[in-house]
Structure 1
Amino acid sequence: MGLLGSLAMLLTFLWILWSPGLRAQLSGASSDRARSLDALLQDYAYKAFVRPRTGIPYEGRPPSNLTGITITVMRLRSGSLRKRGVANYKEFVIPTGVVVRPYVERLALVYQNMGNWSTVYYPLPGYNYLAPVVGLLGYNASNLSATNLPDLDVRASEQPISIRFSEVKLVGGSSTARCVTFDLQGMTKFSNVSSGNVCSTVEQGHFAIVIESPAPSPAPVLPPTPTAPSKKGGKNEKKVLIIAGSVIGGLVVLILLALLILWIRRFKHRKKMRRMERAAEVGESLQLASVGNIRAPVAMGTRTQPMLETEYVP
C-alpha cells in the first residue's frame, strides 16, 4: 500500500503541475507582451537603415496591425554619446556621461511612441494617461540586419536623462500629475513632474505622465498578436517547446515504468514467501532435542540399523 500511495501522490503532483490554469500563469509570466513588442519594433526600426549615417534619425514603419505606434531609430558611436550626448531626440534630452554596457563601438537608439496603444501594452489600474507612453531602448548596431537583439544597458552616470512631453492633456480636479516609469524588469516607479511637463530618468525604459482616476478605469482590450517580419523565431520557439515536452514526457514515463517494475518485483517476492509459508505449514514436523542449552530439530531414526563389518558373517 505504501508503494501504491507514493505512486498516486506522484500522479497527483504531475496533474497539478501541468494543469491548464498553472500553465497559463507560467506562460504569461515568461512571455511578456511589452517585451515581445520591443523586440518586434526593433526589427522594424532597423529596416529604416537603408544608407544610414551616424547621428541622423530615421523614421521606421511598424506593422500594419499596430497603426498609431511611431518608431524612430538613430545610430551613434558609444564614445560620442558619452562625450557629447544628444540635445534633442524626440522627447528625450540625453546629457553627457551616458554609459553603455556591455560596451559596443556603435549602438542604435530606438524611440517608441505608443500612442493609443499605451493603455493596452502598459495598463495602469487607478490612473489615466495624460501623455502617451514613450520609450527609448539601446541595441547593438554592428549588424543592422540582425533581429531579436538583446537590449543594452544605457544608463546616465552624471546627469539624468530628461523627457519633455509636448502632448499633455489638461484635466481638472485636485489630483496631481505624476511621472511613471516602466523599466525593463517589469517594475513600475512613480516620481514628480518637473516644470514644463518634464520627467527624469537615469536608465532606459518607457515613460509617461499619469493622474489618479476617480473611478476604476475599464479593463484594456487585449492587443492583436504582433506579426513578426519572419517566422524563424516562431518556428524555433515551437521546436524548443516540442523538445522540452518530449524530454519531460520521457522522464515521466521512465519514472512510472521504474515504479511499476519495482512494484511487480515486490509483488512476486511476497507471493513466493506466502507459497513457502504454506508449504512449511503442511510439511512433516521435526522432533526437537536438547543440545546443551539449545533445543534444535532432529531427524527421526532410520528404519534400517547400521551394521559393522566385523559383525558380518558370510
Structure 2
Amino acid sequence: MGLKVERWCQITWIIVCLFLSSLVEASDTYDHDSLDTFLCKHANRAIGKPRTGAFYNISLPGNFTGIDISVVRLRTVSFWLRGVNYSFFNIPKRVVPQPNRKRMAILYENLGNWSSHYYNVPNYTMLAPVFGIIPYTSSETTLIDCEKMNLIIQGKPIRIQFPHIRPHAKNVTPICVKFGADGSVKFRNMIKPYVCEAKSEGHYTIVVPTTKSHTQNLSKGFKFNIWWVLGFVICFVGLFVLVLVLIIVVKVVKRRKIRKMEKNSEKGEAFDTFWIGETKVPFASIRRTQPVLENDDVPS
C-alpha cells in the first residue's frame, strides 16, 4: 500500500508542476522569434509561385486574427536604386541589404491587437500597434529563404507612419520605440506627429509614460490574477489530499476486515491446506463414520 500511495503522490506532483509551468508561460510574453519563423514559413506555403515586384497580402489562420502581413520579393539592385514605398513604410534608395544576394524579400508586419503579447515597454503604454519590417534572402523558386538580412542605411532613414493612435493625455509627447532582436528597447523622438525614423530593420511602435491611474489598474488586475491562480492551486491540492485520504481509509478498512476474518478463522476448527495453482485453500480430511448396530442381537 505504501508504494502505491507514494506513486500516486509522485504522479500528482508532476501534474501540479506542469500546471504551474503552463500558468507561468501563459502569463509571460510570447516568443516573437517563433512568430517571425511561423510567418515566414506560412508565407512560403501561401504563395507557391511568387513574382518579383508583386506585393502579396497573406491570410493567417484563425488563431492569429488581428495580425496583418504582406510580403514583396525584389532584386537587390533594384531595391538599392529605387528603394520601396509600401503601406506605412517608406524605405529610401541607397539602402544596402546584407548579406549580398541576387534577390531579397521584405516581410511587413502589423501585429495589431497581438502587439502587447509579443512586446512591451515597462512603465510605458503603447499607443499604436507594433509594426515590423523584416528583410529576408530569396531565390527564384522560394519567396522567403527565412535567412534574415540586415539593412545598412547610408543616406536617409526609413520612415514609419502610424495612422491608428489611441487617445492619450494632451500634455504628454509620444515617443518612438524600437524593439531590438536581443530584447533591447531604444527610444527616439518623433520627427513629426506619429512619424518615426528607423536606422535599421526591426519592430517599432509609439509609447507614452504610463499614468498613475493606469498603473493602479494594472496592479489590481495582476493581484486579481494572482489570487485566482492561488485559489485554483489550493483547491486542486485540497481535492488531491481528500482523494488520497479516502484511498488510505478504504485500504485501512479492508485491511482490518481481513485481519478480523483471519482471527475468526484461527478460533474455528483447524483445516489442512493445499495449493491450487497460486491459491492456498483449506482442506478437510476425509473420515468415514463407523457403522454401529442398533441392537446387539445378531440373527442366527
Query: What TM-score, normalized to structure 1?
Result: 0.56
Alignment of 1:30-179 (within 5 A): 33-86=31-84, 88-142=85-139, 145=142, 149-179=146-176
Evaluate the alpha carbon distance shift between residue 91 and residue 186 of structure 1 in structure 2; reply closer, same or farther with a 3 A threshold: same
User: 1:40, 1:148 within 8 Å by CA — same for their partners in 2?
Assistant: no
**Cα separation, partners in 2 of 1:67 and 1:121, compared to 1, 3 Å:** same
Give the equivalent residue in structure 1 for 2:181: 184
Q: CA deviation at 1:148?
A: 7.5
Contact residue 183 and residue 204 of structure 1 kept, 8 A = no
**What is the TM-score normalised by the length of structure 2?**
0.59
Counterpart-to-counterpart distance in 1, 2:162 and 2:72:
20
Does the CA-based 8 Å contact 1:72-1:112 persist in structure 2?
A: yes
Amino acid of the structure 2 residue aligned with 1:67: T
Structure 1, residues 62-104: CA drift from partner, whole Å, max 9, x if none? Answer: 2321111011000001111111101x21110000111111111
The Cα of 1:160 is off from its aligned counterpart by: 0.4
Amino acid at match of 1:54: T
Q: Describe the superposition over 1:86-137 as per-residue Cα deviations: whole angstroms up to 9, x where unpaired.
A: 1x21110000111111111101100110000111100222111111000010
In 1, the alpha carbon distance for the partners of 2:144 and 2:120 equals 27
Q: Between Structure 1 and Structure 2, how many residues are aligned?
A: 194
Q: Secondary structure of the residue that 2:97 maps to in structure 1?
A: strand
Asked if the contact 1:46/1:73 (under 8 Å) is kept, the reply is: no
Letter of the structure 1 residue corresponding to residue 93 of structure 2: T
Shift of residue 157, structure 1, vs aligned partner: 1.7
2:78 counterpart letter in structure 1: S
**Distance in 1 separating the partners of 2:56 and 2:123:** 36
Deviations 1:267-298 (A, max 9, x none): xxxxxxxxxxxxxxxxxxxxxxxxxxxxxxxx
| Aligned-residue identity in percent | 36
Write the distance in 2 (CA, Å) between the matches of 1:48 and 1:92: 23
Relative distance call for 1:62 and 1:155 in structure 2 (3 A) is: farther
Q: Which runs of 4+ in 1 moved over 3 A?
A: 143-148, 217-221
Aligned pairs (5 A) from 1:206-217: 206-215=203-212, 216=215
Letter in 1 for 2:52: T
Letter in 1 for 2:207: V
AA at the equivalent of 1:105: K
The 1:147–1:194 alpha-carbon spacing in structure 2 relative to 1, beyond 3 Å, is closer
Gap runs ≥5 in structure 1: 1-19, 222-314
Structure 2's unaligned 5+ residue stretches are 1-17, 223-300
